[in-house]
Amino acid sequence: MKSYTKHIKSVCQVGEKTIDNRKPIYRSSAIFPVLHNQKFSSQILFLGYWLLKRQLKEIGLLTTLRSASGEILARRNMTIDCVKAFAINLDELLDENVTDFKGSIELEVFSSRDMIFPYPAFVVTYFNDDFSTAVHTTGRVYNDVEDLTNNADRKVAESGFDIYADDSLSPFVSFVNGPIDVADLSMGYTLTNYKGVSKTGSFSLPSLGKYETVFLHFDEYIDGLADFLGGQPGSIKVNHDFTSFFPRFIAGNFQKNPDIISITHTYYDCSECAEPEDYWTRNQDGHHHSATIFPVFMQDDFYTDIALYPIFSPSSYYISFEFYNLEGQEVGRIDNYKLIESNLQEYQLLKLREILKDYSWKDEVSSARIITNFTDNILPSRLKLGLNIGIANQGAKLPCNICFAPQIGNPLIDKKLGTFKWSPIINKGNSVMTFHNSPTHKGKGYKDANVTLKFFRESDEEFLEQKITLPSFGQKTIDLSKEDEIRTFLNGESGWVTATSDSPYLVGWYFDFHESGGVAGDHSF
């Protein structure tokens, strides 16, 4: 794990002194486990964003399809020299006679100019007629030894996602091994259930070959998992010894009847990270310790929950909520709703429908700002929460489980002239995207955000454009079921929406809702 301070310096965040002798990034990559069978298929989505964000004229993209054992099955090389939506469909890479495939897709981006980030903005989706689920780039194969060393300051477990287990639900993590064989693989774990009870153990896996794909179902390795969870969601920490790839796993749950998957990604377990570099010590005058706005869905059978994981550095913090309508007007607030203490090592689920049930203004809420203020000004630099949005009383039992970090209050961000965000339009079910003017300031916020939205499609370089103004805490919702022009423009295929803002505090989220109750969701890039 690289410290957060090193991370923001390595990606040249505004106001930060760049790391001395920083190595430019000419190769950026991602590697995804993929499936294609009678129940599911997979797709990779991306936008030619390098031409917009980095002003590159073109990039080279090498796509490699491998079998589950790591054998190369196909390679495609292409030049990306335009801004449009791209989709790589697994059924187009496979022989038409292949009906039961498990393997991986690696995507390598090459440039003659510095791309800053070694991980590109790709999205993998798993889907069938009843659902879609999505997550951004997770694992990648390191560029070189220096890249590996920079990301291996400390070994920590992976965690930060919800697990469920019963007769129809099976929790898992999935990853693709790097270019080095792994023998005598042992993985330790710590389970935490909704009662705050923890259980530790370990299990062994067979040796892994180069680029081997793994779908690891926990209920096949942990006895009594369903009984321990007691019909409720819980969390797990997974220890590992991987060294040849960046060990960010796809994680989630499989459901039977109907066949549905819900995925997210893992995150660092920082619960034992207590060095000075693990805490934020910068000036935060006029800003909350951290704060982020997210959309709230509570109409009909929709629900919105916040998952809290026992993975942050030793400290304690209060969670507060501010609730807003679309225009950014505060309709209610709950100060110091709950004290969260790292020493308790609890998994908790904050259910907004229950929290707000007795408030008269609950039906006016379109978004919420979650604020974390740490006691004794001991502020961990890495804090991850889960945003769970689901639809009750349908065939799908699982919400999405978006791993997100509340924005750290940093006055240096005020110096940014603006920001650029982009989100996929999955367009398998009903796609909904939201953008928010989400300053971390205390009080009434910062300034209006003048935003230009552009919608891109797969078929060509044409785009639609909208201009909007968001006040502090305001929200723009793009519901494809209500956007005839955009829906016609996409013509049933995927797309992307970009948002260019003169405020540095724009944040975005995207979703894909299905009649089955399946929900895909993630934060924007």
pLDDT, one tens digit per residue, over 70-114 is 999 999 999 999 999 999 999 889 988 898 999 999 999 999 999
**Residue 6 parent element (H or E):** helix 4-10
Domains 26-150 and 158-276 share a fold: yes
Helical residues (DSSP H) of 373-493, grouped into ranges: 484-490
Parallel/antiparallel/unpaired status of strands 140-141 and 169-176: unpaired
Which structure tokens are listed for 15?
């106001």
Residue 475 has pLDDT above 80, yes or no: yes
Residue 176 has pLDDT above 60, yes or no: yes
Under the banding of pLDDT at 50, 70 and 90, the label for residue 354 is: very high
Under the banding of pLDDT at 50, 70 and 90, the label for residue 145 is: confident
Query: What is the chain's mean pLDDT, rounded?
Result: 94
Q: Which fold has domain 26-150?
A: Hypothetical Protein Tm1070; Chain: A (2.60.290)
Per 3-state DSSP, the chain is made up of helix, strand and coil in percentages (nearest 5) of 10, 45, 45
Distance CA 506, CA 72 (A): 41
In Å, the largest CA–CA distance within the chain is: 62
Percent of the chain with pLDDT over 90: 87
For residue 471, give Cα distances in angstroms to 292, 475, 476, 501.
15, 8, 10, 12
Under the banding of pLDDT at 50, 70 and 90, the label for residue 8 is: low
Which residue has 């934060």 as its token pair? 523
Residue 15 has pLDDT above 90, yes or no: no
Which structure tokens are listed for 304?
């919105």
Distance CA 159, CA 440 (A): 26
Q: Which fold has domain 158-276?
A: Hypothetical Protein Tm1070; Chain: A (2.60.290)
Residue type, 121: A
Nearest to 294 by CA among 449, 522, 525: 522
Under the banding of pLDDT at 50, 70 and 90, the label for residue 24 is: very high
Mean pLDDT, rounded, for 517-521: 98
Amino acid 91: pLDDT: 86
Amino acid 10: pLDDT: 53
Under the banding of pLDDT at 50, 70 and 90, the label for residue 7 is: low
Residue type, 16: E
Under the banding of pLDDT at 50, 70 and 90, the label for residue 152 is: confident
Under the banding of pLDDT at 50, 70 and 90, the label for residue 13 is: low
Amino acid 6: pLDDT: 57
* Per-residue pLDDT tens digits for 380-390: 999 999 999 99
Amino acid 4: pLDDT: 61
Distance CA 25, CA 466 (A): 33
pTM for the model stands at 0.94
Under the banding of pLDDT at 50, 70 and 90, the label for residue 149 is: confident
- Structural domain spans, the chain: 26-150, 158-276, 277-523
